[in-house]
Amino acid sequence: MNAPHIAGALTRRHFLKVGAAATGGLLLELSLPGAQAFAALDSGQPLAPNAFIRIARDGTVTLVMHKVEMGQGTYTSLPQLLAEELEVSLDSVRLEHAPPDNARYADPMLGAQITGGSTSIRSSWTPLREAGATARELLIRAAAKTWDADPAQLRARNGEVFHPTQRKSLRYGELVDIAATLPVPEKVALKDAKDFRLVGKPVKRLDGPGKVNGTAAFGLDTLRPGMKIASVAASPVFGGTLAGIDEAAALKVPGVRQVVKLENAVAVVADHTWAAKQGLAACAPRWHEGAHAGLDLAQVTSQLEQASLQPGAVAHRAGDAGAVLAGASRRVDAVYHSPFLAHATMEPVNCTVEVKNGEVDIWVGTQVPVIAQGVAAGVAGVATEKVRIHNHLLGGGFGRRLEVDFIAQAVAIAKQVRAPVKVVWSREEDVQHDMYRPYYVDRLSAALDDKGMPVAWTHRIAGSSIMARFFPPAFKDGVDPDAVDGAVELPYALPAMQVEFLRVEPPGIPTAFWRGVGPTRNGFVVEGFIDELAAAAGQDPVAYRRALIKDARARAVLDLAAQKASWDTPRPPRKGVRGGRGVALMHVFGSYIAQVAEVEVNDDGEVRVVRMTCAIDCGFAVNPDTVAAQMEGGIVFGLSAALWGEVKIANGRVQQSNFHDYRVMRMNDMPRIDVHVVPSAEAPGGAGEPGTSLAIPALANAVFAATGTRIRALPIGEQLQKA
């Protein structure tokens, strides 16, 4: 998900409070800057910290943060920022999952305790370094007080304050109690980038060792004394309800303890997973299929196509694109289709819950602990503070764990079970009861001048508004700011432009954010259409984009990607395949990215991705190796979707079920991937999502270059196979 409702760049202003920790040692409470923090500052309200740093008497540094680790490297890059200024080693910083507490841990860009939208580094970059520098300064002053020395003479290094001339030192742990009594320095100096030891360096992930030896704990690894396992089947038809089960047959399975009926699902509770699964099969649930029993994908797409013929809410308007188009001698029109997509995280959906004595404990991996707590409290019928969320590493998020449907379900089951119960969805349940990246229909038109350059551009987006459900205040005047992200602020100079959004919700089908969110679909559509214009103008796709670019950073990544991909050197022909390269360029999530895809299409119409070249300028890269890893992984995620990703609906049911029919990239499908991270001193941009957003249009444009077939609907699938 994205953070479109907070305008402008983050500034350095924020709050900081220092004091003694309850357990002894130094406690820093800081408030990461954002709209709320600024409002509070202006109205003189007290400090509302949303991150905590504890330095204990044994010198351990603990950073309690609102961000979760789902592979993006946050649990390494955030400690890097702190450790740099605090002058401690990276491995002396422990990062703790924050408990749910919106007042404390809200992300300033998102306005809530959420990990998503490629925001973690962007919102923490300055305040975490300032907090580290403040703590360092306090510890230096504490040493100065102890030695009756001038603080300016003292230096901090590797968890110690030392006196360079008198050759003596004190460890931080010995100074924390004095430091906690000192006033907060008015101003602290941040280190010069040339002195960085950790920030900007490709330091190793802190979560690496646990993830290669099997000890890393995901939600599914929860073990509680007396815990039961529940297997679940929800109505296979959207909106259906449970009609009946053979409870006796389920209870006959050895190890099955209980059958729990919910309105739209049945859960079989057992001593172990195998019994639960067999019990679920034995109970053979029957369903009232309800209003969506006849729903097919074709109905959804025709509904969207019809709706998109009507004007939408205007998201962006510059000049009078309609008038220019009406008078244009040359125009290009296109309709793009983007399918429903499942998240298919490697860790299937699961949640462990214990309801006992009016209190609820939840062991889960979630991107939204506060929302989870609220929903659980509602389902359990207890006050919010009676719900404890024990967060875990996430076995993939991609937006799926921004949702709490499965947490609500697990609590509803656990309410009826007198033991902790781990609710585990099968992969089939995970795919068929996902909340899907919505289906969208995009209509675009452009007027070209006599040189083939665009003089007017209109883009109408029709589909679900996730923001209207997820964060209603952001859905204003009929415009979903995420759904148009990547469609409005293009890196190209277009004299007349209009972007519209039409909210059309698919009947009964739940929709949700999916990696790269708005920009992932808009990238496919906008960069595909720009490519169409270049083709209509008879121009090279890189040269055409270059002529339209209005921003030096965008031009630099485009040039770099083109050069590294040998864009100007023709591919040597290979027998039996048609080859081609395609390019895409975007400025999204605060980063500039260009990618070039190189493909080969054989006589059977099968696409093989040979090589992906990516150039990213994400501003200052806190951990360039993590940025490269996010590009590599984001590209693979995008290629899976572009080549095969599609959730189809027939008779109100999802037709895909597991990795055999929801195909994703495997080792043997892999192209070579080259990532080039542009050195930059600009403020950091996001990296978690944009790799995905760019890979899709680069691939689609490469397919066009190879075959002459324009990909206007995803996935590419079997579109190139000869009839």
Partner 1 sequence: MTTLNVNGRDVAVDLPADTPLLWALRDGLHMNGTKFGCGMSLCGACTVHVDGQATRACVTPLSAVAGKKVTTIEAVGDSDVGRRVQQAWIDLDVVQCGYCQSGQIMSATALLAKTPRPSDEDIDAAMSGNICRCGTYVRIRKAIRQAAGMPAEDAA
41 binds partner 1 (CB under 8 A): no
- Is 322 within 8 Å of 458 (Cβ atoms)? yes
In the complex, the smallest distance separating the C-beta of residue 240 from partner 1, rounded to whole angstroms, is: 23
- Identify the H or E element spanning 625: helix 624-644
Question: What is the DSSP pairing of strand 228-234 with strand 421-424?
Answer: parallel
Q: How far apart are CA 227 and CA 270, in angstroms?
A: 9
| In the complex, minimum distance from the CB of residue 433 to partner 1, in angstroms, rounded to a whole number | 15
* 92 contributes a contact to partner 1 by CB under 8 A: no
* Site mask for partner 1 (CB under 8 A), range 172-211, x = bound: ------------------------------x-xx-xxxxx
Q: Do 39 and 196 touch, CB atoms closer than 8 A?
A: no
Helix 624-644, helix 690-707: angle, nearest 10: 50
Which of 43/215 has CB closer to partner 1?
215
Residue 97 sits in the site that holds partner 1 (CB under 8 A):
no
For residues 456 and 328, the answer to whether their CB atoms sit within 8 Å is: yes
Q: What is the DSSP letter of 455?
A: E
226: contact with partner 1 by CB under 8 A? no
Q: Which residues are CB-contacts of 328 (< 8 A; sequence separation ≥ 6)?
A: 447, 448, 455, 456
CA distances (Å), origin 156, targets 173, 175, 195 = 13, 12, 13
Question: Is the CB of 43 or the CB of 668 nearer to partner 1?
Answer: 668
- Would you tell me how many other CB atoms lie within 10 Å of the CB of residue 392? 23
Q: Is 71 in the site for partner 1 (CB under 8 A)?
A: yes
Site for partner 1 contains 394 (CB under 8 A):
yes
Q: How far is the CB of 627 from partner 1 (least distance, A)?
A: 12
Q: At closest approach, how far in Å is the CB of 253 from partner 1?
A: 9
Give the shortest CB-266-to-partner 1 separation in angstroms: 18
Instruction: Rank residues 126 and 231 by Cβ distance to partner 1 and give the closer one.
Output: 231
Show contacts with partner 1 in window 626-665 (CB under 8 A): 626, 629, 632-637, 658-660, 664-665
Binder among 212, 552, 681, 723 for partner 1 (CB under 8 A): 212
Selection from 629, 607, 634 nearest residue 705 by Cα? 607
When binding is defined by CB under 8 A, the residue of 287, 363, 398, 440 that contacts partner 1 is: 398
Q: How far is the CB of 639 from partner 1 (least distance, A)?
A: 8
Pick 61 or 424: Cβ nearer partner 1: 424
The distance of closest approach from Cβ of residue 539 to partner 1 in the complex, given in angstroms and rounded to an integer, is 33
Tell me if 214 contacts partner 1 by CB under 8 A.
yes
Side chain identity at residue 268, one-letter code: V
- Phi and psi (nearest 5°) for 501? -125, 135
Given phi > 0 = left and psi -120 to 50 = alpha, else beta, which region is 159?
left
Structural tokens at position 355:
């309801």
| Residue of 136, 130, 137, 138 lying closest to 181 (CA atoms) | 138
How far is 457 from 463, CA to CA, in rounded Å?
Answer: 20
Q: Is 254 in the site for partner 1 (CB under 8 A)?
A: yes
Q: Compare residues 81 and 253 and give the one whose CB is closer to partner 1.
A: 253
| CB of 258 vs partner 1, minimal distance in Å | 17
Which amino acid is located at 644 in the chain? Answer: W
Which x/- pattern, by CB under 8 A, does the window 264-283 give for partner 1?
-------xxxxx--------
Measured between alpha carbons, how far is 21 from 515 in angstroms, rounded to an integer?
39
Least Å distance between CB 344 and partner 1? 6
Do 595 and 635 meet the contact criterion of CB atoms below 8 Å apart? yes
Q: What are phi and psi of 171, to 5 degrees?
A: -75, 150
Per-residue binder mask for partner 1 (CB under 8 A), 555-594, x = binder:
----------------------------------------
Nearest residue (CB) to partner 1, 324 versus 424: 424
Cβ at position 227, least distance to partner 1 in Å: 9
Closest approach of Cβ 394 to partner 1, in Å? 6
Residues binding partner 1: what is the number (CB under 8 A)? Answer: 64
Could you say whether residue 229 binds partner 1 (CB under 8 A)?
yes
With a CB cutoff of 8 Å and minimum separation 6, the contacts of 52 are: 27, 28, 29, 30, 62, 63, 64, 104
Rounded to the nearest 10°, the torsion over CA 466, 666, 427, 270 is -130
Residues 288-347 binding partner 1 (CB under 8 A) are 344-347
Rounded Cα–Cα distance for residues 404 and 351 (Å): 10
CB of 399 to partner 1, least distance (A): 12
By the rule CB under 8 A, 215 interacts with partner 1: yes
Q: Minimal distance in Å, beta carbon 704 to partner 1?
A: 24
Q: Is residue 397 near partner 1 by the rule CB under 8 A?
A: yes
Whole-angstrom distance, CA of residue 504 vs CA of residue 513 = 16
Here the tokens at position 527 are 């960069």
- Under the binding rule (CB under 8 A), the answer on residue 426 touching partner 1 is yes
Q: Which residues bind partner 1 (CB under 8 A)?
A: 69-73, 202, 204-205, 207-218, 220-221, 223, 229, 254-255, 271-275, 344-348, 393-398, 424, 426-427, 625-626, 629, 632-637, 658-660, 664-668, 670, 673
